[in-house]
Amino acid sequence: MSGRFCTAALGVLWLACTPSRDDAGRGADPAASAGVAVAEPSGERPAGSQDAGAPAVVPEAAPAAQAQAATSPPAAVPAAAAAAAPGGATRVYSKGRNVWIRSAPRESASWIGALSIGGSVRLKSAEPARSGGRDCPAFYAVEPRGYVCVDGERATLDASDPMLTTLLAHAPLVDEPLPYRYGESLGLKRLFKVEGIDAPSWPEGIHDLRHVDVRPRSSVAWTKEIEAGGQTWLWTADLTFAPKSKVKPYEPTSFRGVLLTGDVRLPIAFFRRKPRPKYRLTEDNQFAKTDAVWERLDRVGLTGKSKKVGKSTYLETREDGHWVLERDAVVVRPRKGRNPWGRPIRLAGEAGETREAREARETLTGGPRNTWVEIAALEGWLIAYEDDRPVFATLISAGRNGAEKPVSTEPFVPPSTTPLGQYHINHKWVTKTLITPHVNQDDFIEAEVPWSQHFFSKYLVHAAYWHNNWGDGQSGGCVNLSPIDAKWLFHWTEPALPEGWHAVQVTRKDPSTRIIIHR
């Protein structure tokens, strides 16, 4: 992710990203106004600023069209919107890209979550919690907490609403690692209408009115392809159109980390950049290279034993007598022997305890999960822990310019650098468009970045669909994961994303996964 600071005399650029999202009112997205550093695919994007990771609530600047709408009287709404839910209605449905879930039944209340296109959440009651207000005709309480404004335009109780039915075809595929199809812009202009395509009059606010011109190397997310006027058009995530000829699709990566269950345990070696040879120990206590290799991004378990021959160190693997040259491997193991609460880390569990048995035991004891994530920014790996037990390990891509401890003022760390330290997850988005302002040029756009988790200033842990260079520094400061790994981590971390929600913001009552980043 990236941030850019400009010093004209030196010609230095430092990207600072801004999520492209609707105005959330008083409780707007904290990373939005602070900007969100975007991990860039190919080489000129960095990272940004703000506080030390506390879940601050900062208003988001609205685009001009939205700002004007905010100062205008509320539009007329059908009286039915303020009535009790129609018979059998059990859910509220989103017809907008962001339908905010508020902490109280009023538009000025801080947001605690959001729904997206086609999303829905169960009602707590068929009766409105508040109706007849100037800001909203009716607020309904939803599960497990919060309130949604049901105005008939952006949110409805009618599961058969014709517009909702149309929008469902463009909803993100939230069960997939990649909720949209993605590609790199070759330089294009998004269009709101295309001759020959019969598009409906979408609900207000469905289009992102900013960044209509998408500069080269930005990205595009889309749901469908459609033919018109002798060419193919992409129906983008915000229901505008992009010419397919101006988009180069990204090749999805299949890389994934490993769950640490049963006999699968740390330490583990991953292999980055290229295939690496396997070695055998000879009778004269030397190492001989075999014809076999571990392919790029393969992994193998290690016994923990090592042997030095000359200036080279070899590590014993759990694979049929093979050894690996230490410098060929990314070795994933805890940097310290204790967790943040002072308890010893257990690499092999309790006598081979399965994950299911562990979860059952923890359910019976009612204890906290104590989730935390250890990230080695320079070595390029991540371990997820539940209290004293590692449960998952994988490769990541951190800042391409390394990692530094933040200073007390912006920009906190140098460009394209990952901040070292301890943080907590503040809020999570199933997808979030990240914007990287560029001096004197159009902004860089990373469209609908999946599984985004904010932890500090402009920095997030998120999926990267634009590269496959796991284990190497690639980002503008954020922590990149493969889409498969990012989805797993997103649903494992705390706070949990409630059923049907597209985004969640931590509250004082919520547990929050700790993020520890070292070199």
pLDDT tens profile 247-283: 999 999 999 999 999 999 999 999 999 999 999 999 9
**Domain 1-185+333-519, CATH class in plain words:** mainly beta
CA distance 256 to 395: 8
Report residue 99 as tokens: 């339908």
**Looking at the domain 267-332, which fold is it?**
SH3 type barrels. (2.30.30)
DSSP summary character for residue 483? H
Phi first, then psi, for residue 66 (nearest 5°) are: -75, -35
Q: Give the model confidence (pLDDT) of 32-61 as tens digits.
A: 433 333 433 333 332 223 333 333 322 233
Q: Which segment of 15-19, 299-303, 371-375, 401-405 scores lowest on mean pLDDT?
A: 15-19
Task: Judge residue 161's burial from the number of C-beta atoms within 10 Å of its C-beta, 0-12 exposed, 13-18 middle, 19 or more buried.
Answer: middle
How do 99-102 and 147-149 pair as beta strands? antiparallel
Percentage of the chain surpassing pLDDT 90? 73
pLDDT averaged over the chain? 85
Global confidence as pTM: 0.85
Please determine, for residue 18, whether its predicted confidence score (pLDDT) is greater than 50: no
The average pLDDT across 142-164 equals 97
CA distance 260 to 407: 36
Residue ranges in 44-107 assigned as alpha helix (H): 64-71
Structure tokens at 449: 């970045």
Q: How many CA atoms lie within 13 A of 224 on its CB side?
A: 14
Q: Which pLDDT value is given to residue 368?
A: 86
Q: Beta strands 287-294 and 299-309: pairing type? A: unpaired
CA-CA distances (angstroms) from residue 466 to 90, 246, 248, 327, 472?
39, 16, 11, 27, 14
For residues 136 and 151, is the Cβ–Cβ distance under 8 A?
yes
Give the closest residue to 156 by CA, choosing from 207, 121, 130, 108: 121
User: Scanning the structure block, which residue is given the tokens 């006999």?
Assistant: 263
Phi, psi for 70 (deg, rounded to 5): -65, -25
Does residue 117 contact residue 45 with C-beta atoms inside 8 Å?
A: no
Sequence-separated (6 or more) residues with CB below 8 Å from residue 259 = 355, 391, 392
Catalytic residue positions, numbered: 462, 478
User: In 3D, which of 244, 67, 148, 10 has the Cα closest to residue 500?
Assistant: 148
Confidence at residue 362, expressed as pLDDT on a 0 to 100 scale = 62
Residue 97 predicted with pLDDT over 90: yes
**Which position has the token pair 């409805």?**
156
How many CB atoms lie under 10 A from the CB of residue 313?
14
**Model confidence at 317: pLDDT above 90:** yes
